């Protein structure tokens, strides 16, 4: 998988922190290779490469808090579609569901969870590298989560507890300065405990109609991990991104750096047409809006770029065999 904007931004911020310490990118890469970083592919700051780069950076700077500092430098904008989806969630519970379902597209290692003591435990499944390297990645990951949380929720998450597997250090006050939650040490794994009563904490930028669109964009990216239909996936993604003012086929071809004729030919090779994809996306969004929002049928028609509500109703009946109102009732 090609590197994501998140991976590039994390790497850029790491280089910025190193630059302030007088360390060049060449020094980081060369020392990482000396330390054993594999060079089997060209990804940046992903998988085992991230482990070596971060641990080497900590070695070069002699900064025990490098992972914590780096996590605070990466804002929610670096998460692109996933970040927008998080911002549009209704509450913390919905945000976590999103993280668990789509995290594999954006994060390595992946996040996992389990119900515990009337609440929820959240952790990632990193097993690569030494214990010291795993500690750096854990601190980076939870620092990132803390930074995202600060931008999403108005109030402090009372009762949340961040638990690290390693013994309590002598400078626990410094850890507390990085997190707005209680921090404990000597746990069975690096994890975050969230009590039940805070899972309904509202997201300050919640937007139900936007969430439908961003959720479907994330779903498309998840699906693209296992399908060979690359052009179909890209067209679907662009249509979802332009929901409300849909791009026509010529504009989509332009975004994909090809002619309209070439785009039609490639879609035909993948056994689909632009019209079918366009209707599929509008039907998908229509059913999501009807089941997950209180938008009127007229509002939904407008969001789907229908000039007349009656035209939307006719199309919806053609797609689903019933009217939008009947679909919502069912």
Residue where a domain stops, chosen among 145, 173, 198: 198
Joined tokens for residue 123: 């952790």
Residues 80 and 185 in one domain: yes
Identify the domain boundary among 135, 168, 198: 198
Q: Is 278 helix (H, G, I), strand (E, B) or coil?
A: helix
Domain final residue pick, 198, 222, 246: 198
CA nearest 94: which of 155, 158, 152? 152
Q: What's the 3-state SS for 250-295?
A: HHHHHHCCCCHHHHHHHHHHCCCCHHHHHHHHHHHHHHHHHHHCCC
Print the domain residue range for 119: 5-198
Would you say residue 304 lies in a domain? yes
Per-residue pLDDT of the chain (330 residues; tens, 9 = 90+): 345 677 788 889 999 999 999 999 999 999 998 988 876 545 555 567 788 899 999 999 999 899 999 999 988 888 877 888 899 999 999 999 988 888 766 666 678 999 998 899 999 877 777 888 888 989 999 999 999 998 899 888 899 999 999 998 888 888 888 898 899 999 989 999 999 999 999 999 998 888 888 888 787 777 765 565 678 888 888 888 788 788 999 999 998 999 999 999 999 998 889 999 999 889 988 988 898 888 899 989 988 989 899 999 999 999 999 999 999 988
| Distance of alpha carbon 212 from alpha carbon 284, whole angstroms | 10
Q: Distance between CA atoms of 112 and 115, rounded to whole angstroms?
A: 11
Residue 271 corresponds to which tokens in the numbers above? 């056994």
Same domain assignment for residues 131 and 20: yes
190 and 253 co-located in one domain: no
9 vs 44: CA distance, rounded Å: 10
Co-location of 156 and 88 in the same domain? yes
- What DSSP string runs through 67-108? HHHHHHT--GGGGHHHHHHHHH-SBHHHHHHHHHHHHHHH-S
Tokens representing 6 are: 């998140």
Strand order in the sheet with 111-116: 111-116, 119-124, 191-195, 161-164, 182-185
Question: Would strands 182-185 and 161-164 be described as parallel, antiparallel, or unpaired?
Answer: parallel
Are 252 and 238 in contact by the 8 Å Cβ rule? The answer is yes
Q: How far apart are CA 282 and CA 223, in angstroms?
A: 18
Give domain status of residue 203, yes or no. no
Same domain? 68 vs 172:
yes
CATH number of the CATH domain containing 309: 1.10.10.60
Q: Does residue 171 share a domain with residue 250?
A: no
With beta carbons less than 8 A apart as the criterion, state whether 120 and 194 touch: yes
Contacts of 271 (CB under 8 A, 6+ apart): none
User: What are 117's two structure tokens?
Assistant: 């003591």
**Does 154 share its domain with 187?**
yes
Q: Are residues 178 and 295 in the same domain?
A: no
Q: How many residues does the chain have?
A: 330
- What's the domain count of the chain? 2
- Asked if 285 contacts 243 with a C-beta cutoff of 8 angstroms, the reply is yes
Q: What is the CATH number of the domain that holds 193?
A: 3.90.1520
Burial of 164 (0-12, 13-18, 19+ CB in 10 A): buried
* Domain assignment present for 309: yes
* 155 and 288 share one domain: no
In this structure, the answer to whether residues 165 and 215 fall within a common structural domain is no
Domain co-membership, 228 together with 312: yes
In this structure, the number of other CB atoms found within 10 A of the CB of residue 35 comes to 13
Distances (CA, A) of 280 to 240, 283, 285, 319: 11, 5, 9, 9
The span from the CA of 291 to the CA of 109, in Å, is 33
SS3 call for 279:
helix
Helix 208-224 with 274-292: angle, nearest 10 deg: 130
pLDDT of residue 45: 58
Contacts of 148 (CB under 8 A, 6+ apart): 76, 79, 83, 86
Q: Do residue 185 and residue 78 come from a single domain?
A: yes
């Amino acid at each position: 998988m090609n590197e994501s904007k998140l991976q590039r931004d994390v790497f850029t911020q790491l280089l910025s922190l190193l630059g302030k310490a007088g360390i060049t990118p060449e020094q980081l890469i060369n020392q990482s290779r000396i330390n054993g970083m594999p060079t089997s592919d060209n990804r940046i700051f992903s998988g085992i490469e991230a482990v070596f780069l971060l641990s080497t950076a900590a070695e070069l700077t002699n900064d025990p808090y490098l992972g914590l500092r780096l996590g605070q430098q990466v804002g929610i904008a670096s998460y692109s579609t996933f970040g927008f989806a998080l911002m549009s969630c209704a509450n913390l519970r919905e945000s976590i569901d999103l993280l668990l379902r789509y995290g594999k597209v954006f994060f390595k290692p992946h996040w996992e969870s389990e119900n515990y003591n009337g609440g929820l435990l959240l952790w990632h499944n990193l097993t690569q590298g030494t214990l010291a390297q795993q500690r750096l990645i854990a601190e980076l990951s939870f620092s990132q989560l803390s930074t995202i949380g600060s931008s999403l929720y108005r109030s402090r998450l009372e009762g949340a507890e961040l638990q690290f597997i390693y013994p309590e250090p002598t400078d626990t006050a410094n850890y507390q300065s990085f997190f707005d939650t209680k921090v404990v040490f000597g746990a069975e794994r690096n994890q975050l405990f969230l009590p039940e009563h805070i899972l309904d904490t509202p997201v300050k930028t919640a937007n139900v109609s936007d969430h439908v669109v961003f959720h479907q964009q994330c779903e498309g990216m998840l699906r693209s991990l296992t399908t060979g239909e690359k052009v179909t996936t890209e067209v679907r993604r662009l249509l979802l991104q332009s929901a409300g003012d849909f791009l026509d086929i010529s504009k989509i071809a332009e975004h994909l750096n090809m002619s309209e004729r070439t785009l039609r030919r490639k879609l035909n090779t993948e056994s689909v047409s632009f019209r079918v994809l366009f209707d599929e996306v509008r039907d998908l969004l229509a059913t999501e809006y009807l089941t997950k929002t209180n938008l009127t049928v007229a509002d939904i028609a407008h969001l789907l770029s229908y000039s007349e509500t009656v035209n939307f109703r006719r199309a919806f009946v053609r797609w689903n065999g019933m009217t939008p109102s009947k679909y919502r009732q069912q």
